[in-house]
Amino acid sequence: MSTSAQQILQAEEDLLHTYNRYQIIFDHGDGLYLYDTEGKKYLDFFAGIAVFALGHHYKDYDDALKAQIDKLIHTSNYYYNEPAIEAAHKLKKASGMDRVFFTNSGAEAIEGALKTARKYAFIRDGHTDHEIIAMNHSFHGRTFGALSVTGNAHYREAFEPMIGGVKFADMNDIESVKAQITEKTCAVLLETVQGEGGIHPADPAFLKEIRKVCDEKDILLILDEIQCGVGRCGAMYAWQKYGIVPDVMTTAKALGCGVPVGAFLMTEKVAKQSLVPGDHGTTYGGNPLACAAVSKVLDLFEQNGMIEHVNLVTPILEKALDGLAEKYDCIIDRRGMGLMQGLEFNVPVAPIIKGCLERGLVLINAGEKILRFVPPLVIEESHIREMTEILEESIRSVYGK
Ligand SMILES: *Cc1c(COP(=O)(O)O)cnc(C)c1O
């Protein structure tokens, strides 16, 4: 038995079995490529779930982290630290929001956003028992609050009861949202582009109308930009392309480009009427190491013109995927925004993904029949060509023409 096969067996005895993992142990990365422990090379079109925007082993980023490790790693939120001061200021500027709370993950950012909405409405109405409207097919994370607003019964079923007062509406169906609004509603929550649910961007008219209704009724609009944010959709945050501003937003995944960090942000108006000292906290959130990563990521995005680059390569990726969709009858739709794209098949995509891995391409699905493309943002045309060739071979070997 090979060493890696033995290690995988060991892992399966030690780790809680909550994932059916691919039989690969990744060892190191370089730019767009990953290498497993047996030296096999893979083109990475997954970026560790839309995380590693800068590509692997990016020298300036690695150096910034190493320098911070040698200085200070953790202090808690009882004190200030320079990386957090800098990261918060840069994130405010990049997002156009007014106040930042750093978390350790996406789910925690959602938890903070939900608490903000309930506190806001508590101050607004002088009582509790408020309602949140979330979307069907949404994904917001695995903790109880985040799971409660995740519109996928399969994830929730065994863990009921969820937090109360959550109602679900349909993405891009404004009437279904309006039908759920009552005087108890404190927030409408959606992903600007649904990720796990199958890569569904919000329609501009839908989002504008939600903004209008929320304004009329003093309801908070919370946008989850954990997957679609940080440049992925061709703007720092996808909502910036819609001509609206949320009251609260969440960000994570690519924010630290691999170091676990997230944040929820809000406007000054919401900050003035919601969480105060004692309402919320975290031991690690905003620690110097995580914030050194955020700060460096935001610097590099600006220095390297990352958003412009995304907008430059997006049409190339779209054209390549449209070409496949035209050529193969098993592909029925291509949709997405920027470097967050989905190809919908009329057959399961699992065997295609397996075929890609065998041929040295890391891809993932978003639902049973949808291939998801969330590569590092630094991809070039040559990587798109290489990906398309491998993917096409895999499709042909599984489903023929
Ligand atoms: C991944 C994701 C989350 C959860 O983030 P974690 O860091 O895994 O807790 C929440 N919302 C969206 C849209 C996501 O893609």
CATH number at residue 326: 3.90.1150.10
Q: What is the mean pLDDT of residues 104-131?
A: 98
Q: What is the mean pLDDT of residues 101-110?
A: 98
Give the chain's mean pLDDT: 97
| CA 269 – CA 347 distance, rounded (Å) | 48
Q: In residues, how long is the chain?
A: 401
109 CA distance to ligand 1 centroid (A)? 9
Domain interval for residue 39: 3-57+305-399
Q: Is residue 62 part of a domain?
A: no
| CA 56 – CA 59 distance, rounded (Å) | 9
CB neighbour list of residue 244: distance below 8 Å, 6 or more residues apart: 207, 208, 211, 221
Is residue 136's pLDDT more than 70?
A: yes
374 CA distance to ligand 1 centroid (A)? 14
Q: Look at residues 303, 324, 349 and tell me which one is the last residue of a structural domain.
A: 303
- Does 314 lie in the same domain as 216? no
| CA 357 – CA 340 distance, rounded (Å) | 20
Mutate to test the pocket of ligand 1, among 51, 52, 140 (most ligand atoms within 8 A of CB): 140
139 CA distance to ligand 1 centroid (A)? 7
Q: Is residue 36 part of a domain?
A: yes
Q: Is residue 265 part of a domain?
A: yes
Enclosing H/E stretch for 42: strand 41-44
106 CA distance to ligand 1 centroid (A)? 5
Question: Domain with 256 in it: what CATH number?
Answer: 3.40.640.10
- Does 250 lie in the same domain as 146? yes
- Does 84 lie in the same domain as 185? yes
- Does 92 lie in the same domain as 20? no
Helix, strand, coil tally for the chain in percent (to 5): 45, 20, 40
What pLDDT is stored for residue 332 in this prediction?
Answer: 97
Q: What is the mean pLDDT of residues 306-322?
A: 98
What pLDDT is stored for residue 51 in this prediction?
Answer: 97
> What digits encode the pLDDT tens for the residues 333-384?
999 999 999 999 999 999 999 999 999 999 999 999 999 999 999 999 999 9
Q: Is residue 63 part of a domain?
A: no
**Secondary structure of 52-117 in the HEC alphabet?**
CCCCECCHHHHHHHHHHHHHCCCCCCCCCCHHHHHHHHHHHHHHCCCEEEEECCHHHHHHHHHHHH
- Does 254 lie in the same domain as 309? no
The closest-lying atom of ligand 1 relative to the alpha carbon of residue 194 is 13
Q: Look at residues 243, 275, 303 and tell me which one is the last residue of a structural domain.
A: 303
Q: Is residue 66 part of a domain?
A: no
Q: What is the mean pLDDT of residues 247-261?
A: 98
Structure tokens belonging to residue 353: 């993904």
Asked if residues 258 and 52 have their Cβ atoms less than 8 Å apart, the reply is yes
- Does 197 lie in the same domain as 48? no
- Does 319 lie in the same domain as 186? no
Pocket of ligand 1 (CB under 6 A): 105-107, 110, 139-141, 191, 195-196, 224, 226-227, 252-253
Q: What is the number of structural domains in the chain? A: 2
Q: What is the mean pLDDT of residues 153-158?
A: 94
Q: Angle 223-226-227 (CA atoms, 0-180°, nearest 5)?
A: 115
The closest-lying atom of ligand 1 relative to the alpha carbon of residue 138 is 13
- Does 283 lie in the same domain as 134? yes
- Does 199 lie in the same domain as 94? yes
- Does 278 lie in the same domain as 325? no
Q: Is residue 382 part of a domain?
A: yes
List the residue whose alpha carbon is closest to atom 15 of ligand 1: 227
**Statement: the pTM of the whole predicted model exceeds 0.95:** yes
- Does 108 lie in the same domain as 215? yes
In percent, the amount of the chain with pLDDT more than 90 equals 99
Confidence of residue 1 (pLDDT cuts 50, 70, 90): confident
What pLDDT is stored for residue 400 in this prediction?
Answer: 82
Is residue 199's pLDDT more than 70?
A: yes
Q: Look at residues 245, 270, 303 and tell me which one is the last residue of a structural domain.
A: 303
Mutate to test the pocket of ligand 1, among 226, 228, 230, 239 (most ligand atoms within 8 A of CB): 226
Confidence of residue 401 (pLDDT cuts 50, 70, 90): low
310 CA distance to ligand 1 centroid (A)? 22
- Does 386 lie in the same domain as 265? no
80 CA distance to ligand 1 centroid (A)? 27
250 CA distance to ligand 1 centroid (A)? 9
Mutate to test the pocket of ligand 1, among 111, 227, 365 (most ligand atoms within 8 A of CB): 227
| CA 363 – CA 219 distance, rounded (Å) | 38
Q: What is the mean pLDDT of residues 308-322?
A: 98
148 CA distance to ligand 1 centroid (A)? 13
What pLDDT is stored for residue 138 in this prediction?
Answer: 98
For 81, 104, 199, 287, the CA distances from 283, given in Å and listed in that order, are 14, 9, 34, 8
Q: Is residue 67 part of a domain?
A: no
Is residue 74's pLDDT more than 90?
A: yes
Q: Is residue 379 part of a domain?
A: yes
- 399 or 44, which is more confident? 44
